[in-house]
Structure 1
């Protein structure tokens, strides 16, 4: 009997709440989006600061050297423009094009993502860079350090304003293989009303199905029946009489995943149609 696997599945079954930093997909897969450690963020920031400072110095020397007659006012203007370009524009472009990566983040194995786990966009990168000019450069990082220490996800002020945070990208768990719909339950699942399922229950069911091969047969049967008993009140009508608990759980999770995907696809189609409509006359005059 593999007691470790049985205990892990039992703890997943009994979990009433999930950490806020877990993103649960429709198939009840917990995406590995754990916040990056504070020390990693500090090292990443120092590497980025050194890189941007080197670029800033090189640009300032190059621009001033290319000017013939340099007075104090011109030198000040060039320095301010170069500083803004390197400290705000460069990080914005780098994080937007790399979807939350930079030299320091690549070196430390972290990435900036949205609060929902998705990749950041231009707006998020710009807010982070603009806020970082004050909390990182003007205050030598003191504001960022204090804010990150007080936040559960290690967010600095720019992350709070942009709705982002840093996550680890190294050492992530192996992606679980996708579940398949049991053929005998396909017709039932197509018309079943699957109500809102708590993420804790769905995640426990998925983890159980991933570990069935490592469980003792008696523990496997007991846990399967317990999970099926928790899921069955959330589904109407109930599955056909005599359905195996594991196949019932797989059918519910697959149907949940497919419906979530269909909702997202319809939302994208509506957005595309609305965008095309707004681009027509008289909204776009030539």
Structure 2
């Protein structure tokens, strides 16, 4: 599902990094880390000259693990997937669902990197990246991560996940999201960032299918009077809020959850605010057939335009754009 294909034969996917850019970023990182390792080794050799051979060996092994293995893991964790080389090349490590990586992802990548980069001089990593459809090395496969292009060429607009309507923020705080697979999260993110580019009927159909898959994974049915696209946006926002609270503490929030806050017009992917979207991101031409997007005083109930799905009943056919 990570390569979601629309009815218009448009593939919605992340722009994965290719081998040349990844290799250049790796060379920069290796130059920096090996320079640091040599300086640390020289300093330790002078400081421990009076120690016996066993103690000197232990210090050498510790410096190797801390500088060549531990330092890259710490940098990727604290920067959420951007080492110095990746920052210079406009790359970033993300989860398979497009979210920011955590310590466990960086740990697995770093541990596998000892074998496929340091011990094999990068040969194993290059071969794995060449045979992978998305350019992933073995560490990425085991960690469930992907290296993507963070900077796009000039003239290409950055796609962002639109925020949910304010009246849905915090509504899904009790929803169990542990059973939702990463490929479904990725498909939902990709749909939300590009739904305004799709034909309204195709967009509505895709939203209904993804909402059904999400409801099946959570074990709770989707709200009857909430449009499927709004439901998807609100659940993604809730997950982002939970990730932010785990990473930055209980006071953090990404516009969702009981402790989150609404950031009008700001679209957030993972924990990083990437930019702003035009108010009415779920408006005409979006996920509602016929371009129906009603702004009502009471968002729980809205009239239905003639000809729209569910005519003759009071369920919501659109939702108010973020104000």
TM-score normalised to structure 2 length: 0.53
Q: Which has the higher contact order (CA 8 A, sep 6+)?
A: 1
Q: 8 Å contact 1:113–1:120 — kept in the other structure?
A: yes
User: What is the CA–CA distance in structure 1 between the aligned matches of 2:84 and 2:128, rounded to whole Å?
Assistant: 23
Residue aligned with 1:174, SS: coil
| 1:64 CA displacement | 1.7
User: What is the CA–CA distance in structure 2 between the aligned matches of 1:145 and 1:72, rounded to whole Å?
Assistant: 37
Q: 8 Å contact 2:29–2:83 — kept in the other structure?
A: yes
- Which residue in 2 is equivalent to 1:45? 26
Q: Does 1:106 align with 2:93?
A: no
User: What is the CA–CA distance in structure 1 between the aligned matches of 2:229 and 2:110, rounded to whole Å?
Assistant: 36
CA 1:234–1:97: 2 relative to 1, 3 Å = closer
Give per-residue Cα distances to partners, 1:255-282, cap 9 Å, x unaligned.
Answer: 334212433566789999xxx9xxxxxx
Q: Does 1:14 align with 2:8?
A: yes
Structure 2 unpaired stretches of 5+: 166-186, 209-225, 251-323
| 1:71 CA displacement | 3.5
User: What is the CA–CA distance in structure 1 between the aligned matches of 2:35 and 2:61, rounded to whole Å?
Assistant: 16
User: What is the CA–CA distance in structure 1 between the aligned matches of 2:202 and 2:27, rounded to whole Å?
Assistant: 52
Q: Does 1:206 align with 2:196?
A: yes
CA 1:149–1:64: 2 relative to 1, 3 Å = same
- Which residue in 1 is equivalent to 2:201? 228
Which of residues 47, 53, 56 is equivalent to 1:75?
A: 56
User: What is the CA–CA distance in structure 1 between the aligned matches of 2:128 and 2:232, rounded to whole Å?
Assistant: 36
Q: 8 Å contact 1:136–1:144 — kept in the other structure?
A: yes
| Structural mapping, 1:5-154, within 5 Å | 14-15=8-9, 18=11, 22=13, 33-154=14-135
User: Which is further off, 259-268 or 146-155?
Assistant: 259-268
| 1:173 CA displacement | 2.3
- Which residue in 1 is equivalent to 2:228? 256
CA 1:60–1:229: 2 relative to 1, 3 Å = closer
User: What is the CA–CA distance in structure 2 between the aligned matches of 1:177 and 1:164, rounded to whole Å?
Assistant: 19
User: What is the CA–CA distance in structure 2 between the aligned matches of 1:97 and 1:234, rounded to whole Å?
Assistant: 35
User: Which is further off, 67-76 or 84-93?
Assistant: 67-76
CA 1:99–1:232: 2 relative to 1, 3 Å = closer
- Which residue in 2 is equivalent to 1:174? 158
TM-score normalised to structure 1 length: 0.59
User: What is the CA–CA distance in structure 1 between the aligned matches of 2:206 and 2:45, rounded to whole Å?
Assistant: 73
User: What is the CA–CA distance in structure 1 between the aligned matches of 2:133 and 2:60, rounded to whole Å?
Assistant: 37
User: What is the CA–CA distance in structure 1 between the aligned matches of 2:71 and 2:229, rounded to whole Å?
Assistant: 39
User: What is the CA–CA distance in structure 2 between the aligned matches of 1:177 and 1:110, rounded to whole Å?
Assistant: 19
| 1:87 CA displacement | 1.8
Q: 8 Å contact 2:6–2:202 — kept in the other structure?
A: no
CA 1:176–1:91: 2 relative to 1, 3 Å = closer
User: What is the CA–CA distance in structure 1 between the aligned matches of 2:78 and 2:11, rounded to whole Å?
Assistant: 32
Structure 1 unpaired stretches of 5+: 1-10, 23-32, 182-197, 209-223, 236-253, 277-286
Q: Which has the larger radius of gyration?
A: 1
- Which residue in 1 is equivalent to 2:138? 157
Higher helix share: 1
Residue aligned with 1:14, SS: coil
CA 1:203–1:76: 2 relative to 1, 3 Å = closer
Q: What number of residue pairs does the alignment pair up?
A: 200
